[in-house]
Amino acid sequence: MLPDVATFWHGPLDEFRLACLRSQVAAGHKVTVYSFEPLAGLPDGVGNAEAEAILPHSFAEKLRPAQPDGTWRDWTVLQFSDFFRMRLMARHAGLWLDADVLLLKPVEIDATKPFFAWERPRRLGNAVLYLPRHDPIVAAFEKLMQQEELTPEWLAPLHRLTFALHRLRGGSRRLSDVRIAIYGPAALTELARRTGELRCALPKKSFYAVHSEPKLFFERSDYSALIRDPDIIGLHISGKGRTKKPPVRDSLHAWAMERFGP
C-alpha cells in the first residue's frame, strides 16, 4: 500500500525541506503539511492543513509556557511534534515523514503493521513512522496526553532517578525541561520493546544511512552507492543548520537540490 504522507511544521520552510517535500511527491505520495499558520510557497502536490484540528496549540503549555510574545521556547516544537505524530496515528492520517526526509523511492507499508526503522544501535527513529490506529503505542500516548504533567509510566529507571534528583535540587517539575528526546525515539523504542514490536523495525540504512554521519551528505563524495542501494528507501538528514548553506559541489546535498529543487 502506498500511504498518504503527513507531517507538522511550525514557522517558514527552507529550500532544503521544500526539496524533501518534492521528493516525497515525486515518489508518488500525497503529502500534507499541518501547521498553525498558512504556509506559503509549498511545492505542487503538497497540501496544507490546519494543525489545531489535530492537536491544539495550547497543548504546548504542558511542555513549556510560551515567551511573553507568545512564541514557543527552546525545543517546544520538537516535543510538540512527537505528540502530534502520535495524534495523527490515532486519526489514521497516514505515514509520518519528517520534513527533512528525502525519499529516493516510494514507501510501501502494510496498514495492519507498525512501520519504523532503527536509527542507531538499540534506538528506533521516529522521523519515519506509521502505527495502526489501535496500536498499543498509540494508546499509551493517548493516555499520557490526558495528564497535566506528561510523565510517562514507561520512563526508564535511570530517567526517573535523574528527574527525581532534578526536582530535589529545586529544578523544574516538568519532565519536558529535563530530557529533550524523552517523548521521541526513546519513548518509541521502549514502548515497542514492551509490546514486542521491535521485530517490525527495518534496518538502519533504510532511512538513516547518513543520519549520524552527515558528512556523507554534505561533503564532496562518491555518493552513487547510496542512491543506488535497493535497501535505502530515503534519507533522514540531520542538518543542524548546514541545510541552509549552499551545497558543496559534487556532494549528495548538491545532487538532491538539483534533482528536487525548484
DSSP string, 25-39: HHTT--EEEEESSPP
Determine the pLDDT at residue 23.
98
Collapsed DSSP state (helix, strand, coil) of residue 236: strand
Collapsed DSSP state (helix, strand, coil) of residue 242: helix
Is residue 75 classed exposed, middle or buried when 0-12, 13-18 and 19+ CB atoms within 10 A define those classes?
middle
Instruction: State if pTM tops 0.75.
Output: yes
256 falls within a domain = no
Residues of the chain with pLDDT under 70: 179-180
Determine the pLDDT at residue 40.
92
Determine the pLDDT at residue 2.
92
Domain that residue 149 falls in: 5-202
In DSSP terms, 34 is beta-bridged to 8, 49
216 falls within a domain = no
Count H helices, E strands: the chain? 9, 8
Q: Which three cell numbers stand for residue 145?
A: 496526553
Dihedral angle at the C-alpha atoms of 74, 213, 122, 63, nearest 10 degrees?
A: 10
Nearest to 38 by CA among 26, 30, 27, 46: 46
Q: Which three cell numbers stand for residue 213?
A: 554521519
Using CA atoms, how far apart are residues 74 and 83, in angstroms rounded to an integer? 16
Determine the pLDDT at residue 179.
64
127 falls within a domain = yes
Collapsed DSSP state (helix, strand, coil) of residue 124: strand
Using CA atoms, how far apart are residues 108 and 128, in angstroms rounded to an integer? 12
21 falls within a domain = yes
Determine the pLDDT at residue 1.
75
Determine the pLDDT at residue 219.
96
161 falls within a domain = yes
Using CA atoms, how far apart are residues 67 and 60, in angstroms rounded to an integer? 12
- Asked if 12 and 29 touch (Cβ cutoff 8 Å), the reply is no
213 falls within a domain = no
Determine the pLDDT at residue 32.
98
Collapsed DSSP state (helix, strand, coil) of residue 53: helix
Q: Where are the alpha helices (DSSP H) in 33-102?
A: 60-63, 76-90
Determine the pLDDT at residue 31.
98
**Residue entry with cell 500516548:** 141
Q: Which three cell numbers stand for residue 167?
A: 526536582
In DSSP terms, 101 is beta-bridged to 236
Domain count, the chain: 1
Nearest to 220 by CA among 191, 246, 195, 254: 254
167 falls within a domain = yes
236 falls within a domain = no
